[in-house]
Amino acid sequence: MFRRIVRSQEFVIALAIVLLSAAITAINPAYLTLGNFYDILRFMTIDGLLALGVLVVLISGGVDVSFPAIASFATYVAMVLLIGMAYDGPMWGIYLVALPIGLLLGLLNGVIVNTFRLPTLIVTLGTSSLYFGAMLFFFGSRALFNLPASVTAFSRTALHTVPAPNNVGTTALHPSILILLAAALGVGFVLRYTMLGRGIFAVGGSREVAERTGYNIRRIEYVLYSLAGLLAATAGVTYAALNRQANPVGLRGTELDVIAAVVLGGASIMGGSGTVAGALLGVVLLTIIRSSLVLVGIPSEWQRFVVGIILIIGVTAPAVRSLRERRDGIATTEEEGVQP
């Protein structure tokens, strides 16, 4: 069991986080502070919520790149409606309006994929352009700053505060991390302990085998894409609250980072494998890399370069390991088959 844990992708990522943190601390001792830890948690919350939706789709053998558009569309439309109604209610009311929009947009992805049997990447590229284009056509690129008072109140809420480095202000542990924790526990439970979760893994392993086994492929895909849309909308509203604005293109361009984090965490781009812990560890590692580039004096322009390398490593490493295990298995079989 210990050997299996050590060889797991989650252990490798966790070890990389520890080693990278130690290296950054050696260069800049201000990195290893509670305030910086709170900042990392705050920065990873949005990507973490998006990563959970990406994880579910990847496990099923699909690739979804529409999640930033769904997050932005659901949040912006919800804010426009609520501002027009002069909404002055609690924060959960905003989630209550945005989440069904995200669910329906995700369901649309599932309907198109299942009805026409089209590649998920092509479908979600199309719907992403559709959602972003609709926002720009009907609302323009204007960001909304006059959000309901509950949004501002939520953005200022803190579970715990500590002095920032050099005693310049304070750094807070934001309660949005609890939303990510609840979502992670929920997705983890679905994937591990429900028939739906087993069906998602089965579809990712082999759609034909899953269908012959008796899984309702159409229902599974409808639910998993709806779930991805629901998580995207949750991330969108949380992003708007943390930044105190609803920006129609605020999350555009995050596709590569989130997919890279999930793949780095052990989810196969071919489907059939992946864990919630691995996805979140991948997000943590990517967040640390992005924040540490500035701390150690590396220009921020190199972020895309680093993310690209990470994505290539994340895709090729499992394939290399699988090839090595297959060769070892063949060699063992041949040795056992040799007669003395």
> What pLDDT score does 299 carry?
67
| CA–CA distance, 140 with 204 (Å, rounded to integer) | 38
Q: Identify the pLDDT of residue 30.
A: 75
Question: For the structural domain made of 8-296, what CATH number should be given?
Answer: 1.10.3470
Q: What is the pLDDT along the chain (340 residues), one digit of tens a residue?
A: 667 777 777 888 888 889 888 888 888 787 888 888 898 999 999 999 999 999 999 999 999 999 999 999 999 999 999 999 999 999 999 999 999 999 999 999 999 999 888 899 999 999 999 999 998 888 888 899 999 999 999 999 999 888 876 666 778 899 999 999 999 999 999 999 999 999 999 999 998 999 898 899 999 999 999 999 999 999 999 999 999 999 998 898 889 889 989 988 888 888 889 999 999 999 998 888 887 776 666 666 676 777 777 767 766 766 666 666 667 666 555 555 544 4
Beta strands at 170-173 and 160-163: parallel, antiparallel or unpaired: antiparallel
Full 3-state SS string of 180-239: HHHHHHHHHHHHHHCHHHHHHHHHHHCHHHHHHHCCCHHHHHHHHHHHHHHHHHHHHHHH
**CA count, 13 A, side-chain hemisphere, 297:** 2
What one-character DSSP code corresponds to residue 142?
A: P
Give the separation between CA 199 and CA 204, rounded to whole angstroms: 9
Asked if residue 260 lies in contact with residue 311, where contact means CB atoms within 8 angstroms, the answer is yes
Can you tell me the distance from the alpha carbon of 71 to that of 146, in angstroms, rounded to the nearest whole number?
19
Q: Hey, is 160 helix, strand or coil?
A: strand
The reported pLDDT for the residue numbered 168 is 65
Residue 329 tokens read as 């298995």
Dihedral sign computed on CA atoms, order 209, 215, 219, 224: negative
pTM: 0.90
113 Cβ contact list (under 8 Å, min separation 6): 62, 120, 123, 221, 225
Q: Is 218 exposed, middle or buried (0-12, 13-18, 19+ CB in 10 A)?
A: middle
Q: Give the list of residues 6+ apart from residue 65 with CB closer than 8 angstroms, or none.
A: 121, 124, 125, 128, 255, 259
Write down the pLDDT at residue 335.
Answer: 58
